[in-house]
Structure 1
């Protein structure tokens, strides 16, 4: 079992141990285990550890096809998962749309201010002025009673069937960059056209996330598949690391979210 950690970064050990515990729990109880919402990196780790064609399996669902944050059901091989097993509630936010604009950080901030963990919320869906949120059903009643405002807007939550979730399609604009190293500060500077000093300031100010986790180490080494977000600058991902050029620079294909 010790060799499994070699396939992942050291900072992911805590989550790996959690997945192993879920697997052991299902093996011992022979009953399904439902997790909180997982980000895409956690989903990948889960799928690698649980594997395929074993006595314990896993399936993910976030309320609609293409959801970024999803709950996982870890279950014994006899079990057939149903949509209801994921215990998801879709809310629509009712607010005076003609007079007030609500943005993503305001919604997330208001949710977190209620003392609930981020893992209890799935995707926040924005389509023009319409706002929807997918949450764990166990907090739905509490949320509908407690969430009275977002920013300056008074709000009410209306439950909708999951089939009414707004479809959100991610569009990525690919670009090829070169960087002197795969250090986080260098990659951020290259992708977002920043000076390296500016990139370091963003990182040290906790404004940069890699794979949905804040990092303060400018020397962190990026890998293929990493998702990077810089507050105020948008999201990007490392699609392919093609190797070094003749001038010993790294050639990287990156995607920027439109």
Structure 2
């Protein structure tokens, strides 16, 4: 398996992950089992693409919930039964006596976790609720998290570890916005979604700080379609929910959802 041939199918900035995935698959072909950190959907796609090139390797993806966005992968020889394997995922429950807890969102919890020095790869999905939060982490950082996470955005919190069966997966909250744009270009829709000028939104896109469906996108003219998820570093992300049609002046009416 030559990596140079595989690189052609992916963005140049994904080459490092491609190399890792190829190594995991090659080791599985030599009867070694690999449990990865949490992968985003793009990384999971790359891994699956590479595994599909091998007849002797299989993968199990698990994120603690059937609709999990971020999942750990267990890569193993095809003769191994993976259904009962431990995927190394722990559930952390966050509570507080402070009624300000209901005002915290996904970004607040993420910021507090990363401030502890824990790498993003060790964190799965985060499910904020009005009375607290459930989030998933790799087993190897669960005890550290439980002992040291005591404040989220100036709100004092308590944490405990629960069995995975106790997970309460909340639906992702989206702030719906209706836009009218001249075209379906990435830069035009992102400009309106983030309330930035076209010139200001071009800078991070061309600098490689924009992703469409978790894949780096540097072409401002890329057309978006229904279901696309766009993230711009430092500004959050949004999803194109519906292309509602054209106005009398030929502009596109869109409904997007901004992630809370």
Supply the RMSD in Å over aligned alpha carbons. 3.7
Per the alignment, residue 12 of structure 1 pairs with 14
Partner of 1:132, secondary structure, is: strand
1:116-155 correspondence to structure 2 within 5 Å: 116-155=118-157
Aligned residue among 214, 236, 239 for 1:236: 239
Could you say what secondary structure the match of 2:86 adopts?
helix
**Residues 1-258 of structure 1 mapped to structure 2, 5 A cutoff:** 1=2, 2-28=4-30, 30-51=31-52, 54-82=55-83, 84-100=85-101, 101-170=103-172, 182=185, 184-189=186-191, 195-200=197-202, 203=205, 208-212=210-214, 217=218, 219=220, 221=222, 227-230=229-232, 231=234, 234-237=237-240, 256=257
Change (3 A) 1:186 1:99: closer
Distance 2:163 2:193 in 1: 39
Q: After superposition, what is the alpha-carbon deviation per residue over 1:198-245, rounded to whole angstroms, capped at 9, x for unaligned?
A: 423665899754444787x564856777531245564125999xxxxx
Give the CA deviation at 1:171. 7.8
Gaps of 5+ in 1: 241-248
Q: Are the structure 2 counterparts of residues 7 and 220 from structure 1 closer, same or farther at C-alpha, using a change threshold of 3 Å? A: farther
Secondary structure of the corresponding residue to residue 131 of structure 1: strand
Q: Deviations over 1:3-57 (max 9, x none)?
A: 22222222211111110011111112x1321000000111111111101772011
Give the TM-score of the pair, scaled to structure 1: 0.78
Shift of 1:117: 0.8
Alignment TM-score, normalising by the size of structure 2? 0.77
Gaps of 5+ in 2: 244-249
1:97–1:129 contact (8 Å) kept in structure 2: no
Specify the SS of the correspondent of 1:85.
coil
* Offset at residue 94 of structure 1 (A): 1.9
